[in-house]
Amino acid sequence: MTDNPQAQPARRPRAPRSTRASLAQIVLGFEVIVVGLASLVAMGLGALPVGLALGGGAALDILMLIAVALIPRYSWSFGLGWAAQAIIVASGFVLQMMFLLGIVFTAIWTYAMITGARLDSQKAQS
């Protein structure tokens, strides 16, 4: 065999993806859409001034997108997801329907964290 100087260097195999991280990214991804739409509702109903409704919604969406990007790399970024859940529930003081949406998404987030951790634990044992 001849040596090929243009051969690609060997890539390291990827670490197996965490089920917990995958579920967290999915939940936060859906929440980005819900928060964006809720900020439009808050603006449309006059619950907040336009700049505050859209700015607050955009800030929360950015927080969740940062969490989505960081979750596979850093375990502390799950805390950003928990913070987003608290903010969404607290936004119910501005728009009452957000209490319901916040509680529902916090329940989904909690289930995803518990189930994902359990599945990762089972995967590590086998």
d(CA 119, CA 124): 9
d(CA 22, CA 65): 14
Residues 6+ apart with CB under 8 A from 42: 48, 53, 57, 94, 95
pLDDT of 12 higher than 80:
no
- pTM for this model (two decimals): 0.83
pLDDT, tens digit, 9 for 90 and up, residues 69-117 = 999 999 999 999 999 999 999 999 999 999 999 999 999 999 999 999 9
Residue 7: predicted pLDDT: 64
